[in-house]
Amino acid sequence: MGFSTDSRARFNLAQVSVLLLEETSLGMSILVQILNGFGARKIHRCDTVEKAEKVVQETDLDLLIIDAMGRSGAGYDFVRWLRRSGIRPNCYVPVILTAAHTPASAIARARDCGAHILMAKPLTPRAMLDRIVWVARAGRRFVECDSYAGPDRRFKVSDLPAGVAVGRRREDGVSVPG
Amino acid sequence: MSDSARIHTPDIPLGRLIRMPGGKNVGQALDDAEKGLQSLRGESMKELQRVLEKAGDYYSRAEGKFNPLLVNAFYDLINGAIGLPTVGKDRAIDSMLVSLADLLDYYRTSGEWGDKSVQVHLSTFQLLLRTEGARDPEGTAAILSGLQKVSRKAARG
């Protein structure tokens, strides 16, 4: 990741339908200013989980930026609900989770609720753009099982443990770029 | 035995959409976003002042003792403010807020209270708000480093 401010690469968010879930009005204004600056025009602003659920049920979305919502963790619960909702295509859409204070427990919760990535506040435009481009990459697998629904949490591809000749997964022992 | 899992690769239109013709170049987009954030600076600083006053109120009401309701409210207040100072490019206040959130999170889960540790954070908050735009970078870095040591020391017990 990492964009240079003099990069001439172009990107187009004008047709991207984005849902924002952020309970404070200043926090919402920060997100909207960043996305407007990027050229996003279809922004659905929600300050409660109920409003966000309604948008998910009624509108096709391309990106969700969801705040964890402090101690209550309602943001994590919303993402878990989204992944289990069966509302296609929204249940598979990339989710960027934002959080202010991020102890280790918050990071584990973000990973396990089904978000694509967790961004710690303060949010900066450069960091936000990096994450949007990153989650937009095609090819990330989706896992659905009893205990988890969301993007594949496995990033690391390492060799088989000592003494093991054959791995359980098809790609074990195979180098995967990136 | 592990439960059965369905692994698939759903179609994600986001990548195709952001590559459509038109749009902005990265430099322009970042500039425009920064300008938009600058427009929120006044509101952000006003909110930080309110947070400082409320934090002082919580500190006074604690009277030097652990109070679970107060500590939770105090933590929520500080947690909610993280990110606002960076709107005005003030990373120092954000660093202080994160350090104070670390400290309060430790207190609310341990049941302890460190009056002086909280007080030094609030004094720093006040100082940073008052000297916004006119600080010595090295001095500020030293203060923030000291605050982080206070938080870590409290967590070690």
Q: In chain A, which residues have their Cβ closer than 8 Å to the Cβ of B103?
A: none
- Tell me which chain A residue has its CA closest to the CA of residue B30: A125
| Chain B residues 112-141 with CB within 8 Å of chain A | none
For chains A and B, count residue pairs whose Cβ atoms are closer than 8 Å.
187
Q: In chain B, which residues have their Cβ closer than 8 Å to the Cβ of A14?
A: 20, 22-23
Q: d(Cα B96, Cα B84) in Å, to the nearest integer?
A: 12
CB contact under 8 A, B18 and A133: yes
| Chain A residues 128-167 with CB within 8 Å of chain B | 128-129, 132-133, 135-147, 152
Query: Is position B19 within any domain?
Result: no
Q: d(Cα B151, Cα B118) in Å, to the nearest integer?
A: 9
Query: Is position B130 within any domain?
Result: yes
Query: Coil, strand or helix: which one is A117?
Result: strand
| pLDDT, tens digit, 9 for 90 and up, residues A86-138 | 999 999 999 999 999 988 888 889 889 999 999 999 999 999 999 999 999 87
Query: Is position B10 within any domain?
Result: no
Q: Which two tokens stand for residue B46?
A: 């006003």
Please give the share of chain A, as a percent, with pLDDT higher than 90. Answer: 70
The ipTM estimated for the assembled molecules is: 0.88
Query: Is position B116 within any domain?
Result: yes
pLDDT band per the 50, 70, 90 thresholds, residue B146: confident
| Chain A residues 49-78 with CB within 8 Å of chain B | 62-63, 70-71
Which of B2, B6, B12 is most worth mutating to test chain A (most A CB atoms within 10 A of its CB)? B12
Range of B119's domain? 41-156
pLDDT band per the 50, 70, 90 thresholds, residue A83: very high
Q: Which two tokens stand for residue B105?
A: 């999170």
Q: Residues A134-168, buried b or exposed e (16+ Cβ, 10 A)?
A: ebbeeeeebbbeeebbbbeeeeeeeeeeeeeeeee
CB contact under 8 A, B33 and A145: no
* Contact in structure between B44 and B84 (CB atoms under 8 Å): yes
Domain count, chain B: 1
Q: d(Cα B24, Cα B32) in Å, to the nearest integer?
A: 10
- Tell me which chain B residue has its CA closest to the CA of residue A36: B33
Comparing CA positions, the residue from A34, A79, A73, A44 lying closest to residue B83 is A34
Q: Which of B9, B31, B91 sits opposite A139 (nearest CB)?
A: B9
A13-A15-A21-A27 Cα dihedral, nearest 10 degrees:
40
Query: Is position B35 within any domain?
Result: no
**Residue type at B28?**
Q
Query: Is position B55 within any domain?
Result: yes
Query: Is position B56 within any domain?
Result: yes
| pLDDT, tens digit, 9 for 90 and up, residues A12-27 | 999 999 999 999 999 9
| Domains within chain A, CATH numbers bracketed | 17-141 (3.40.50.2300)
Q: d(Cα A117, Cα A133) in Å, to the nearest integer?
A: 12
Q: Which residues contact A83 (CB under 8 A, 6 or more apart)?
A: A91, A113, A114, A144, A149, A150
pLDDT of residue B149: 81
CATH code (residue B97):
1.20.120.160
* For helices A125-135 and A25-38, angle between their N-to-C axes, nearest 10 degrees: 70
